[in-house]
Chains A and B, each alone.
Chain A
């Protein structure tokens, strides 16, 4: 069956229909639950669905609306959560066996904000273990698939989030992005994904991977929907000291202003044949469309971006090796039976972690160990400064930078699984944005001319200037018309 028309609507359209009482939140939520039931055996986007909780919040939303109370543009709208967000009373595994059975005693701040805004939480979405991966194949619970072609990956690590939104199971989802984990799956699934500026959204209650890079953001089917979601989750949180005090603007306010007058930087390093031809073609067409809409294209240089993957694969594993030290079998999660404490640590971590977290813990431990710190971690942190300076210099001449998100369209399951380095290179265009702490967005730029799989355009902006990214993305979306729905899932 194909998705009912109701589920094909955007958050913004649906909010209108709800306010006109054309449909109730309970009806929408039941339709979404039925859609998940009908499709998820094949898609495997969800690790856990919470139907009772969803129906209860939908009824709460309908009751409020009957009294004339509407809390936000998300009130009554079914939303999914990557399984990295702690949900009070609902198992949270982060895609890892070591957290199987873990039921958090509190909600992440972003979950609290979503529920306070009236959003209907539908469940927890599949992901690469501890957000480490670019294909969802590192999930300890089996990979999610791409709704455009079930033999292909949805990307990662927020693959379940992007696949579920694309397959019309939910209207929007939250993901996290440490090196591209929102933008790359959004690109591969043909939806919109936004990684906000580091510090824009609270990480309290979000399982930590690499703390100087991790950021929470929305995945949605339209740019305006992503803006609405960001408006709900952004802002300072006293429980996350890295979250910024800067005020949160109305991200939907200037979103229709169009591309006229925008200066779009085109980094030559991002369009030098590093992508497959069909991807590069769609990216160039999107740039031409901007020019036709009255934007100016400016050549810029990001000479250090080619060192991004190398710097990232020192910084992120180093921080991960420290963050993942807490999984030791003492306070929560898996504990392997053992006679001594040292055996318990070793056995628990051996049985609980999959191959990728082990690889990164090993790499990070090595990079931080005595005698190697200066040569690896410290040098990589200095390279981050160089990457950031490139962007600062570019932003003297342009308002945002544009290029590909992923060098390829969705690849086949199993294609890169035996070669970690090849998998890491899937993030070659997305990583420098995280290293430089800047906001980045993926917006659909059409389908690959041969494979008919989605291609995303990446936009990177100045710190805390998500509004310009959203405005530019909306201009392209309007120009291209609504993105088609994937057909493989029915």
Chain B
């Protein structure tokens, strides 16, 4: 199955990846090869098979007390921010 360059661009935009034209060409080939490989799953009859939505469904889900506990102090949470304004993360303007 061959992915077109347009399709690669569409997926890249969904994934918020900016790719160079060389990357687009290379990825179109690589992804097509991988998708060809995974097509072998079509050989299997999976009708009536439950998807594995949890790795160990038989094991009880742990619950914890609904109790207020301290969170990360704002300064520590913001310490890695590329840009901050007061107690906020700062980003380029969204609305022109």
Contacts and interface: CB of A to CB of B under 8 A. Distances in A.
A358 B40 CA distance: 24
Residue from the set A309, A313, A382 with the largest chain B CB neighbour count within 10 Å: A382
A382 B17 contact: no
B18 A463 contact: no
A359 B41 contact: no
Say whether chain B's binding surface is mostly helix, strand, loop, or mixed.
loop
Nearest to B58: A463
Interface in B54-79: 54-56, 59-62, 64, 72, 76-77, 79
A350 B18 contact: yes
Contact of B80 (A331, A346, A380, A383): A331
A365 interface: yes
Nearest to B60: A245
Interface residues of A, number: 73
Interface string B22-36: 010001001101110
A199 B18 contact: no
A338 to B, nearest CB: 6
A309 B14 CA distance: 25
Contacts of B60: 245
A199 B31 contact: no
A353 B16 CA distance: 12
Given A199-B56, A381-B52, A386-B44, A359 B94 contact: no
B79 A353 contact: no
B11 A198 contact: no
Interface stretch (A11-19, A100-108, A143-151, A396-404): A100-108
B52 A388 contact: yes
B72 A105 contact: yes
A339 B92 CA distance: 6
Given A199-B56, A362-B12, A362-B27, A330 B62 contact: no
A149 to B, nearest CB: 29
A385 B50 contact: yes
A437 B31 contact: no
Given A238-B64, A246-B59, A358 B23 contact: yes
A236 B51 contact: no
A88 to B, nearest CB: 10
A102 B93 contact: no
Residue from the set A243, A325, A361 with the largest chain B CB neighbour count within 10 Å: A361
B51 A381 contact: yes
B49 to A, nearest CB: 4
A366 B11 contact: yes
A381 B30 contact: no
Given A331-B89, A340-B92, A362 B52 contact: no
A347 interface: yes
Given A106-B72, A199-B59, A362-B31, A310 B38 contact: yes
B92 A199 contact: no
B76 A105 contact: yes
B59 A346 contact: no
Contacts of A72: none
Contact of B16 (A238, A349, A366): A349
A197 B31 CA distance: 31
A347 B27 CA distance: 18
Contacts of B79: 103, 105
A199 B60 CA distance: 11
B11 A385 contact: no
B2 interface: no
A291 B13 CA distance: 57
Contacts of B23: 358
B64 to A, nearest CB: 5
Given A349-B16, A350-B17, A379-B41, 16 more contacts: A198-B55, A199-B55, A212-B54, A212-B55, A346-B16, A350-B18, A359-B30, A362-B12, A365-B11, A366-B11, A378-B51, A380-B41, A382-B46, A382-B51, A383-B41, A386-B49
Instruction: Give 3 nearest A-B pairs by CB, closest first.
Output: A346-B18, A381-B51, A335-B82
26 contacts: A103-B79, A105-B79, A236-B62, A238-B62, A241-B61, A242-B55, A243-B62, A244-B56, A245-B59, A310-B41, A313-B38, A314-B38, A331-B89, A341-B91, A343-B92, A344-B92, A346-B16, A362-B15, A363-B31, A366-B35, A379-B41, A386-B46, A386-B49, A421-B37, A424-B34, A435-B52
